[in-house]
A and B are shown apart, each in its own frame.
Chain A
Amino acid sequence: MSERLERGLETLRNEIDGKVKSFFSSCVRCGICAEACLFYTETNDPRYTPIYKTEPLRKLWQKEYSFWGKLSSALGIGKPMTEADLADWEELVYDGCSMCGRCSMVCPVGVDISMVIFKVKHGLAKAGFSPEGLVGATQRAVDIGSPMGITMKAVAATIKHVEANTGLKVPLDVEGADYLALLSSNEIALYPEYLESITKIFDHAGVSWTLSSEAYEATNSGLQIGNKTIAGQLVQRVVDGAEKLKVKNVISPECGHAYTALRWEGPNFIGKAYPFRVVHILELLDELRAEGRLETTGMEHERLTFHDPCSIVRRGGIQAQPRNLLQPLAENFVEMTDHGSMNWCCGGGGGVSSNERAEELKLTAFNKKKSQIDALKVDAVVTACSNCRMVMEEGVEHNEMEVELLGLTEIIAEHLVDKHAH
């Protein structure tokens, strides 16, 4: 057995807990999960059936925990696990799964398939069976501090632009601030309007906040590639930065998996609870709105809808907040037929958008989102995840659709009453 296979199997072995045993004992191969997965519904390829993606772990569980598996091993007739058992699943798990978790919502026997797929990713990542794109991104994240290679220099440049545009100061490394705001590389590179928007909003609402030069990156390539060790390292950077600045709260930006990594999985990756609270920017904005600290004026007049980012809504729990924030600002808001926690993935989450090999499949999967948008005949789609936004912009362009993609935080900032105007 090769060293990499050994590593992979050992990682998978450690992933088998009570939940995994329960899940594999319960699955009756009904195939209902396939109907919930956009990679299956848009390709009709049975290999993208969610529970099928968990095969490497299931095989190991059966070998080492089930009666028949143990009997076969004892009698010497069991088939050993091979590298192919892991390698052949790389495409299914990394290209054909965005960790959206829709399958976990529909399984009649209650299997959290998405969670199990994440465990499989961990094993594959440790064995070195991961797509090149993600490996590169993870390396850059560890070495440079950002998967897209964005250094503090680039962040500083963006800060300068924002200060020039708004006439406001962007606080950096301010010790004792209430909130530490994190950014995603995507936002810095493609949507710097996000930083501008929160600068305006926090000034308007009187929020005490800061950025950190040592902990500015929210995205977690370790999570995307499934390497829990690296994921923990990247979370620790944020924790260190937050502890250094002695902040009470850390804000996770408009990025799906960053929220999952920091808010929900982070403490488990690093093995201890945080001394601060983690909020998603939408949670904070909704709190400000509820406290009456957000004064807005005017409305969006276009016919628009909201795309629910999977990691924020379904797997993150932030379902009501985007609607609380958007609906007062939108004259012509319509919900997608499948919305909220049962909305469909954009197709690019979970590391799929960083995986060049998955480009074609991702565009095919986008057909589901396209059909949702076409059915509503909207002018714009609002979302709160820069990755979703980028993926959908690509999809809209590829399909020559006439739909605008908007960010929710930006919309709020645009409609703020200017307190400085007299």
Chain B
Amino acid sequence: MIEYLVDGPLWYLSLAVFCTGVVWKLGSIIFTSRKTDLSVARDSATSGAVRTVFSRFLPHREIAASIKMQVIAGYMFHLGLFALLFFAAPHVLFLEEHILGFGWTAMPHWAFIVSAQFAFLGLIMLWLRRLVNPVSRLISTLDDHVAAILTFIVMLTGCFALLEGSPALRLLHRFTVELWLIYFPFSALMHTFTFVPSRAFTGAWFGRRGIDA
């Protein structure tokens, strides 16, 4: 029964909530009417927007030293997660069979394990930092903690099912993924998509003034 639900209706529900939620939120950002800026631009807003979308991936030299942990652990987690989500063999197969209809070369198994280890270590250290640092403690919301813990649980159930020999463990992983997909559009996890328009808006604002932000 559970197998039927997790592989069937719940999967479709989670996918629907995820896609609708993401599109809705992005739409509400992009299609909200914006007042035209009546001041005369000094330089191109568009090129500023595009530039900033990419330039913010690297911290400014001036503050890099004081944000080492966020940058290092942050990239360990994000890059590890990205690698294992899109290049781990079981995931590539899943994407091919259930969503896209096409796949690509997966990374070797050892690379899968190493990516997962980076992702775990990064996430653990980031979440712990959120708990011990006074600034993070003050500004963090319940949503931040739930998002981190839920993501960790998804990764953990994935790790448990690594042998790919137990239907129950596979179902557990899939179930937590579905929970995660449903939670996604209503949480801070949306930064996955909204960072693009945010950086673009700010980049455009600075770009009009001729500042490389």
Contact = CB atoms under 8 A, between A and B. Distances in A.
Contact of B34 (A18, A26, A277, A338): A18
A153 interface: no
B173 interface: no
Given A104-B202, A110-B200, A268-B37, A21 B67 contact: no
Interface in A137-156: none
Given A21-B28, A106-B59, A110-B195, A31 B133 contact: yes
B56 A29 contact: no
A344 B34 CA distance: 31
Interface in A247-275: 263-268, 271-273
Nearest to B129: A31
Given A29-B130, A46-B134, A315-B209, A264 B39 contact: yes
B163 interface: no
Interface residues of B, number: 61
A414 interface: no
A342 B202 contact: no
B198 A26 contact: yes
A272 B37 CA distance: 10
A23 B136 CA distance: 18
Contact of B209 (A49, A105, A277, A316): A316
Contact of B136 (A31, A266, A341): A31
> Is chain B's interface secondary structure helix, strand, loop, or mixed overall?
helix
Given A106-B63, A316-B209, A22 B38 contact: no
Interface stretch (B8-16, B92-100, B151-159, B184-192): B184-192
A22 B194 contact: yes
A32 B63 contact: yes
A109 B195 contact: yes
Contact of A35 (B67, B143, B195): B67
B141 interface: yes
Contacts of A109: 56, 191, 194-195, 198-199
A46 B202 contact: no
Nearest to B65: A35
Nearest to A16: B32
A25 B188 CA distance: 6
A342 B141 CA distance: 30
A329 B92 CA distance: 63
A111 B39 contact: no
A25 B135 contact: no
A105 B213 contact: yes
Interface in B109-132: 130
A317 B211 contact: yes
Contact of A110 (B25, B139, B186, B199): B199
B44 to A, nearest CB: 12
Contacts of B29: 18, 21-22, 25
A77 interface: no
A175 interface: no
A360 interface: no
A316 B28 CA distance: 30
Given A26-B191, A27-B191, A35 B186 contact: no
Interface string A218-239: 0000000000000000000000
A272 B198 CA distance: 26
A375 interface: no
Contacts of B30: 18
Contacts of A105: 60, 213
Contacts of B138: 46-47, 49, 52
Contacts of A352: none
B52 interface: yes
B210 to A, nearest CB: 4
B137 interface: yes
B70 A32 contact: yes
B135 A31 contact: yes
A25 B39 contact: no
B86 interface: no
Contacts of B140: 29
B198 A110 contact: yes
A49 B135 contact: yes
Contacts of B66: 35
Contacts of B141: 29
Contacts of A19: 34, 198, 201
Given A66-B186, A109-B194, A25 B25 contact: yes
Contacts of A110: 52-53, 56, 195, 198-203
Interface string B71-87: 00010000000000000
B205 interface: yes
B114 to A, nearest CB: 25
15 contacts: A25-B194, A27-B191, A29-B136, A29-B141, A31-B133, A46-B134, A46-B138, A110-B52, A110-B199, A110-B200, A112-B205, A314-B211, A337-B62, A341-B211, A342-B62
Interface of A: 17-19, 21-23, 25-32, 34-36, 40, 46-47, 49, 51-52, 65-68, 104-112, 115, 263-268, 271-273, 277-278, 314-317, 319, 337-338, 341-342
Closest 8 CB pairs of A and B: A110-B199, A317-B209, A18-B32, A267-B38, A110-B198, A317-B210, A31-B135, A67-B186
Given A21-B32, A106-B63, 15 more contacts: A18-B31, A23-B201, A25-B29, A25-B191, A26-B194, A29-B130, A31-B135, A104-B206, A109-B195, A109-B198, A112-B202, A268-B37, A273-B39, A273-B40, A338-B62
